[in-house]
Amino acid sequence: MRRIIRAFSPSKIILFGEHAVVYGYPAIAMALNLGTRVTLKESPERSMKILSENYNIEWNVFNEEPPPIFKPFKRIIDVIAKKFPKKVNALKGIEIHISTQAPAASGLGTSASTAVAFTAAVLKYLGISLSANLINEIAYEAEKVSHGRPSGIDNYIATYGGVIKFTRNEEGPRIERLNVENELPLLLVYTGVERKTKEAVEYVAELRKKLPSFIDGIFDIIGEISERVWNMFKNRNMDLEMLGNLMNINQGLLSAIGVSSEEIEKVVFALRKAGAIGAKLTGAGIGGCVIALFKDWSKAINAKERIQRDYLCLIAKPQNRGVYVE
């Protein structure tokens, strides 16, 4: 009987702290029940094939160069081969199918959730102990291929789940993790415009050079918001009304530093009109997704029915469980 291994890894949202996190302020990220599913199947052929169901692309790993979207998988295979040279020959004779629930280039950490689920499935097939630290380490190498100098937030949250406070410093990132104990009725709306991380980060850096006291003043407020929200999670004292207010303030601050856009603002105001108590961009901005918070799930579902005529909408819930293999 041919073996089948299934792995799932969550996507994520940045709740608070975008852009300020680059300059040492905390960011709050949360795993979602949306994510990437990887199915590894044994095959009678002496080859290793990877198939993306979203893009309808196939790569024969040992016989051809990877398409651009599969280059992170090549890095994962190379890292595993280097760490476990006696195991890698067993990969000849499998097919790996990849399916993502979140749109790519939307700021939801799709590349990281894919890398984490792929890594976990391959390690499981090879009989290697599924250490979360090892999965996270290997997936981070794939993220370097995708993003150059990634922060490490996305692969960490995809591996461990929950909600984290992430702070960069010279010694490396400082990460605190908690389980989400509160109901957070969230709606994700994709603007239809790909997020532009590099462009947004470079724009903010240039603006900060010209107006350092103004931009750092804005980052001070964003950092204070992140700390306040983290304390809500930590103390299990989630005030949805306050959280919504802080989301709206944070959106205004992100707009002030130039990383919102006409399309993002259009979605934000449509969501508020549909009943959201808070709405803001998530991730680098300029494109990508908007997240909206509601008082209860019925209001989130009603808003989805109104907004989805014009945009891709996804109901999202916090996910405390990180990557897992069945």
Q: Taking residues 145-166, report their average pLDDT.
A: 90
Strands (E), 43-102: 48-52, 57-60, 94-100
Instruction: Name the catalytic one among 78, 154, 239, 310.
Output: 154
Place of tokens 């259009």: 266
Sheet holding 312-316, edge to edge: 278-282, 289-293, 186-190, 312-316
For the chain, count helices (H), then strands (E): 9, 12
Residues 6+ apart with CB under 8 A from 10: 31, 32, 33, 34, 35, 113, 157, 158, 161, 319, 321, 322, 323
C-alpha 320/C-alpha 237 separation (Å) is 17
C-alpha 4/C-alpha 289 separation (Å) is 34
The percentage of residues in the chain with a pLDDT greater than 90, rounded to a whole number, is: 79
The SS3 call for residue 317 is: coil
pLDDT tens by residue, 51-91: 999 889 999 998 899 999 999 999 999 999 999 998 888 88
C-alpha 140/C-alpha 235 separation (Å) is 31
Region(s) of the chain under CATH 3.30.230.10: 4-180
The SS3 call for residue 324 is: strand
| Burial tier of 295 (Cβ tally within 10 Å: 0-12, 13-18, 19+) | middle
Region(s) of the chain under CATH 3.30.70.890: 186-316
C-alpha 305/C-alpha 82 separation (Å) is 50
> What is the residue-averaged pLDDT of the chain?
94
At 107 the pLDDT is 82
Domain 4-180, what fold?
A: Ribosomal Protein S5; domain 2 (3.30.230)
At 169 the pLDDT is 83
Say yes or no to pLDDT of 150 above 90. Answer: no
At 147 the pLDDT is 76
At 14 the pLDDT is 95
C-alpha 282/C-alpha 272 separation (Å) is 16
- 192: closest CA among 103, 316, 282? 103
Residue 13 pairs with which residues in a beta bridge?
30
At 279 the pLDDT is 98
Q: Please, which pLDDT band fits residue 198 given cuts at 50, 70 and 90?
A: confident
Give the chain's length: 326
Q: Taking residues 287-316, report their average pLDDT.
A: 96
At 44 the pLDDT is 87
pLDDT tens by residue, 9-20: 999 999 999 999
Q: Taking residues 33-38, report their average pLDDT.
A: 96
- Phi and psi based region of residue 286 (left: phi greater than 0; alpha: psi -120 to 50; beta: remaining): left
With beta carbons less than 8 A apart as the criterion, state whether 5 and 321 touch: no
Say yes or no to pLDDT of 213 above 80. Answer: yes
Q: Match domain 186-316 to its CATH number in 3.40.1390.10, 3.40.50.2300, 3.30.70.890, 3.90.550.10.
A: 3.30.70.890
pLDDT tens by residue, 215-258: 999 999 999 999 999 999 999 999 999 999 999 999 999 999 99
At 321 the pLDDT is 97
Instruction: State yes or no: is 239 an active-site residue.
Output: no
Q: Taking residues 133-158, report their average pLDDT.
A: 90
Question: What is each CA distance from 39 to 5, 36, 242, 267, in whole angstroms?
Answer: 6, 10, 41, 35
Find the angle CA(43)-CA(47)-CA(50) to the nearest 5 degrees: 80
Q: Please, which pLDDT band fits residue 197 given cuts at 50, 70 and 90?
A: confident
Q: Please, which pLDDT band fits residue 152 given cuts at 50, 70 and 90?
A: confident
C-alpha 23/C-alpha 230 separation (Å) is 18
At 146 the pLDDT is 81
Q: pTM of the full predicted structure? A: 0.92
DSSP state of 318: B
Question: What is each CA distance from 27 to 34, 105, 175, 225, in whole angstroms?
Answer: 20, 20, 10, 9
The SS3 call for residue 321 is: coil
Say yes or no to pLDDT of 105 above 80. Answer: no
Cα dihedral value 152, 156, 159, 165, nearest 10: -160
| Burial tier of 1 (Cβ tally within 10 Å: 0-12, 13-18, 19+) | exposed
Say yes or no to pLDDT of 148 above 80. Answer: no
Say yes or no to pLDDT of 191 above 80. Answer: yes
